Amino acid sequence: MAVRPIVIYGDPVLREMGEPVEEINQEVKDLVSDMTDTLRKAKGLGLAASQVGSAKRLFIVDLSAIDIDASLLVFINPEIIETEGAVEMEEGCLSFPDMYFKITRPERVKVRAYDLDGNQFEMEADGMAARAILHEYDHTQGALFIDHLTPLARTLIKGRLKKLAIAS
């Protein structure tokens, strides 16, 4: 379909709570197709609809860049059912170009969502898959990965964030 511009930190859509997807119609399928093209061009691991300017409860994850057996996963109206453990890893976000921070997230996640065919599914994930799912889920809730930083860490990056927001 088409590559869409990725919304950069400072755009208010990134802080919006995603609206539930009421119907999986052609518009939603086109959005997922565009998001897939956008994600692959950006060489990312996941992308939420808000990151391309659409405040919907929808995200995709594609770990094929780091796992040869992985394939694109679509999560429509996702719900986090449970999480377990905690692990700190460096994390980035396509809406924060060239910024990486150590973020603590649950090590495992169980999520329920709908796929593009309207089928509800549940899946459990750990490691990088869990991290990507939780990161993108946050976007559907209007939360950003910097929200997981300590207050001190947020203070230390305030200037970089302000520059990024002004540039967007």
Angstrom distance (rounded) from CA 40 to CA 88: 26
Cβ(120)–Cβ(74) below 8 Å: no
- The residue-averaged pLDDT of 32-38 equals 97
Q: Which residue has the tokens 């429509």?
A: 76
What's the predicted TM-score (pTM) here?
Answer: 0.95
Give the residue numbers annotated as catalytic, written as ranges. 136
What architecture is the 12-167 domain classified under in CATH?
Alpha-Beta Complex (3.90)
Confidence band, pLDDT 50/70/90 cuts, at residue 167: confident
Q: CA of 7: how far to CAs of 10, 31, 53, 86, 123, in Å?
A: 9, 15, 6, 29, 28
Determine which helix (DSSP H) or strand (DSSP E) holds 90, and give its type and residue range.
strand 87-93
Q: Indicate if the pLDDT at residue 1 is higher than 90.
A: no
